[in-house]
């Protein structure tokens, strides 16, 4: 079914958009000129946190609410407002706390926490102090947390007593590189770690003044983990000048304007929740909503209504869940404060764009990017016609193309609508500068001046990009990127398991559901009990966001002659699709 174009007049926002003439701005844009949009710290130095907070000192924005925190249990606690002035003072205190513990510029600070103000203060304070900051998703189980800790070897972990007890207590005391565990809460129970300190005591004696470290544009600021098809998770390094891209892309693709109330529903444990859930909104001086609770349709509508959210950045899985509750539920709320809706993370069904128009009076503006790009690369803008199902057009400052990898290098596809790999011309400020300790893996992502995204896409005759699929086996479930290898490794540790293969299968709500296939060792019976045990093990070790929901036993899994599980074939067979090239298949897997 093809969906009619939504003309720019049909979805025009009441206020003139920041990007009024896409073609003009895209043709004239230069990152060097755009640098003037930042405050900077003199002599070419800058700091992400300075742009987010210090730059507003002495302006009217100082008194605005920077962060409105909505606690999970609304009956137990009321919303908490933190002004720009207060957030600056608190993150300065946090930077001073780090200094008092002997933490220095360049040290790595990890944070494992739900969406509470302490997480935001720690992120900004660590950046101010020149540390490399890594947020970890709090729904991860111990396994993904530990592997990411071992790769980045942080000297500081910021967390809560509850998360420490639940996910770290069994093993964190063994980590030789970890010097400090900073607890964000005041839980009276002892945390079984001699390095643990309570933040509140340290904060109360710390000064609210701190001279933010002036960083070179290329100094590392953030380390975000992402997954590949094989091997360990990859730590993508982002530098301080990424803030320029965060600022500019939020101006153009999210249309952020000074008085906006902005809600990014992504968790800071994933790149969207940091780039657009902390940095970009603060650089624009808007009020950001931080909801501690997980998805709940009524609560979300109530939040949009009661908080007068004007710009809402969310994800397809959430939109599909809202769609299931129907227009009737949406109609019970006054959502007239909304003026711009955006979506990212997975393919946005054209039906969802249409549903936005019908139910909220606005379309969702799909945009595309990934951990490695650090910021939005392709988007539907307020000032252009929307073709539902398309990711839109490249941002000003971004050149995108469709190409094939060849023996000689790269071949660009000239004809519109041909499917190939989505590639981006290097040089934008938020591009990752390496995978931590994995130079080879990093260099493999580039051919000449082009970054290869690993996504398959096509570009139509009007210059709109359309997502086709992933070129590799990674799984996108509820917007979370999951590396099959990480999941398979947990099954492989079970004494009954001989082989494991994990794939994503289409799911109406989460986009893809994680499904495992397991072959047992000779003589071991495939029972329902064992199936439950394996699923339980995965849930405990990986956490609910990563663990498979279903598992099937097979006598053997399809493998290449060199012994690699052919996930592509597992998937084709599961979905009844053509098997494609099976010339490398080892016979026993058939």
Residue closer to ligand AMP (CB basis): 317 or 453 = 453
Collapsing DSSP states into helix, strand and coil, what is residue 424?
Answer: strand
Q: Shortest Cβ distance from residue 50 to ligand AMP (Å)?
A: 26
Structural tokens at position 156: 């500081």
| String marking each residue 374-393 x if it binds ligand AMP according to CB under 6 A | -----------------x--
Task: Enumerate the β-bridge partners of residue 343.
Answer: 314, 366
Q: Shortest Cβ distance from residue 364 to ligand AMP (Å)?
A: 10
φ/ψ bin of 242: left (φ > 0), alpha (ψ from -120 to 50), beta (otherwise): alpha
Region of 189-197, 284-292, 360-368, 485-493 interacting with ligand AMP (CB under 6 A): 360-368
Distance CA 403, CA 193 (A): 52
Q: Shortest Cβ distance from residue 80 to ligand AMP (Å)?
A: 29
The verdict on 441 binding ligand AMP (CB under 6 A) reads no
Residue closer to ligand AMP (CB basis): 71 or 233 = 233
Residue closer to ligand AMP (CB basis): 191 or 371 = 371
Distance CA 582, CA 45 (A): 54
The verdict on 140 binding ligand AMP (CB under 6 A) reads no
Burial class (CB in 10 A: 0-12, 13-18, 19+), 39: middle
The verdict on 371 binding ligand AMP (CB under 6 A) reads yes
Q: Shortest Cβ distance from residue 367 to ligand AMP (Å)?
A: 6
The verdict on 226 binding ligand AMP (CB under 6 A) reads yes
**Closest CA relative to residue 508, chosen from 330, 374, 326, 317:** 317
Structural tokens at position 264: 């990014």
Region of 52-60, 184-192, 364-372, 427-435 interacting with ligand AMP (CB under 6 A): 364-372
Residue owning tokens 């020149």 = 130
Q: Shortest Cβ distance from residue 3 to ligand AMP (Å)?
A: 16
Of 370, 382, 383, 510, the residue at the interface with ligand AMP (CB under 6 A) is: 370
Of 50, 84, 467, 485, the residue at the interface with ligand AMP (CB under 6 A) is: 467
H or E element at residue 261: strand 261-264
The verdict on 470 binding ligand AMP (CB under 6 A) reads yes
φ/ψ bin of 102: left (φ > 0), alpha (ψ from -120 to 50), beta (otherwise): left
Region of 109-117, 330-338, 345-353, 458-466 interacting with ligand AMP (CB under 6 A): 345-353
Distance CA 112, CA 123 (A): 11
The verdict on 476 binding ligand AMP (CB under 6 A) reads yes
Structural tokens at position 65: 């609410």
Q: Shortest Cβ distance from residue 238 to ligand AMP (Å)?
A: 12
Task: Enumerate the β-bridge partners of residue 226.
Answer: 234
Distance CA 473, CA 172 (A): 31
Collapsing DSSP states into helix, strand and coil, what is residue 443?
Answer: helix
Q: Work out the number of other CB atoms within 10 angstroms of the CB of residue 200.
A: 11
Q: Shortest Cβ distance from residue 479 to ligand AMP (Å)?
A: 8
Q: Shortest Cβ distance from residue 316 to ligand AMP (Å)?
A: 8
Region of 14-22, 131-139, 245-253, 362-370 interacting with ligand AMP (CB under 6 A): 362-370
Q: Shortest Cβ distance from residue 227 to ligand AMP (Å)?
A: 8
The verdict on 481 binding ligand AMP (CB under 6 A) reads yes
Contact (Cβ atoms closer than 8 angstroms) between residue 151 and residue 232 = yes
Between vectors from CA 251 to CA 455 and to CA 28, what angle results, nearest 5°?
80
Q: Between helices 528-542 and 484-492, what is the axis angle to 10°?
A: 120
Q: What backbone phi and psi angles, to 5 degrees, belong to 558?
A: -65, 130
The verdict on 346 binding ligand AMP (CB under 6 A) reads yes
Q: Shortest Cβ distance from residue 32 to ligand AMP (Å)?
A: 27
Where does this chain bind ligand AMP (CB under 6 A)?
226, 271, 344-348, 366-368, 370-371, 391, 453, 455, 467, 470, 476, 481
């Amino acid at each position: 079914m093809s969906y009619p174009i939504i003309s720019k007049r049909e979805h025009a926002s009441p206020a003139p958009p920041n990007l009024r003439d896409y073609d003009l701005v895209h043709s004239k844009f230069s990152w060097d000129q755009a640098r003037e949009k930042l405050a900077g710290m003199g002599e070419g130095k800058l700091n992400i946190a300075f742009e987010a907070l210090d730059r507003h000192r002495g302006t009217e924005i100082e008194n605005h609410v920077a962060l409105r925190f909505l606690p999970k249990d609304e009956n137990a606690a009321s919303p908490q407002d933190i002004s720009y002035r207060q957030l600056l003072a608190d993150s300065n205190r946090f930077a001073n706390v780090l200094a008092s513990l002997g933490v220095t510029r360049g040290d790595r600070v990890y944070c494992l926490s739900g969406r509470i103000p302490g997480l935001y203060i720690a992120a900004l304070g660590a950046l101010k102090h020149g540390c490399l900051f890594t947020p970890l998703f709090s729904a991860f189980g111990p396994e993904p947390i530990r592997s990411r800790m071992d790769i980045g070897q942080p000297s500081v972990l910021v967390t809560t007593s509850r998360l420490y007890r639940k996910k770290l207590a069994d093993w964190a005391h063994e980590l030789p590189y970890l010097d400090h565990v900073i607890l964000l809460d005041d839980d009276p129970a002892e945390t079984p770690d001699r390095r643990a300190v309570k933040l509140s005591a340290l904060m109360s004696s710390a000064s609210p003044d701190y001279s933010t470290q002036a960083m070179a544009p290329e100094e590392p600021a953030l380390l975000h983990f992402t997954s590949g098809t094989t091997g360990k998770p990859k730590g993508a390094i982002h530098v301080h000048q990424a803030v320029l891209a965060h600022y500019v892309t939020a101006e153009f693709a999210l249309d952020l304007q000074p008085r906006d109330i902005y809600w990014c529903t992504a968790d800071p444990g994933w790149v969207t929740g940091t780039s657009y859930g902390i940095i970009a909104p603060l650089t624009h001086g808007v009020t950001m909503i931080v909801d501690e609770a997980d998805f709940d349709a009524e609560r979300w509508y109530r939040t949009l209504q009661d908080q007068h959210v004007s710009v809402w950045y969310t994800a397809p899985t959430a939109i599909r869940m809202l769609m299931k509750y129907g227009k009737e539920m949406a109609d019970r709320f006054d959502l007239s404060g909304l003026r711009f809706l955006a979506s990212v993370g997975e393919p946005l069904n054209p039906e969802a764009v249409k549903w936005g128009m019908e139910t909220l009076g606005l379309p969702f503006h799909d945009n595309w990017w990934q951990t490695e790009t650090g910021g939005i690369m392709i988007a539907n803008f307020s000032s252009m016609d929307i073709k539902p199902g398309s990711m839109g057009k490249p941002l000003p400052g971004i050149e995108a193309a469709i190409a094939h990898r060849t023996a000689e290098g790269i071949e660009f596809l000239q004809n519109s609508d041909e499917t190939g790999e989505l590639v981006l011309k290097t040089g934008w400020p938020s591009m990752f500068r390496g995978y931590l300790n994995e130079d080879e893996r990093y260099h493999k992502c580039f051919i000449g001046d082009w970054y290869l995204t690993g996504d398959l896409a096509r570009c139509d005759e009007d210059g709109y990009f359309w997502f086709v699929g992933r070129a590799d086996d990674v799984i996108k479930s509820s917007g979370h990127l999951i590396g099959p290898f990480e999941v398979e490794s947990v099954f492989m540790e079970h004494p009954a398991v001989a082989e494991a293969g994990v794939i994503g299968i289409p799911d109406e709500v989460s986009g893809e559901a994680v499904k495992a296939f397991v072959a047992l060792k000779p003589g071991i019976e495939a029972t329902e009990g064992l199936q439950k045990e394996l699923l339980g093990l995965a849930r405990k070790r990986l956490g609910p966001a990563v663990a498979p929901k279903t598992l099937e036993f097979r006598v053997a899994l399809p493998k290449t002659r060199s012994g690699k599980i052919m996930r592509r074939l597992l998937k084709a067979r599961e979905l009844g699709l053509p098997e494609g090239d099976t010339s490398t298949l080892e016979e026993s897997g058939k």
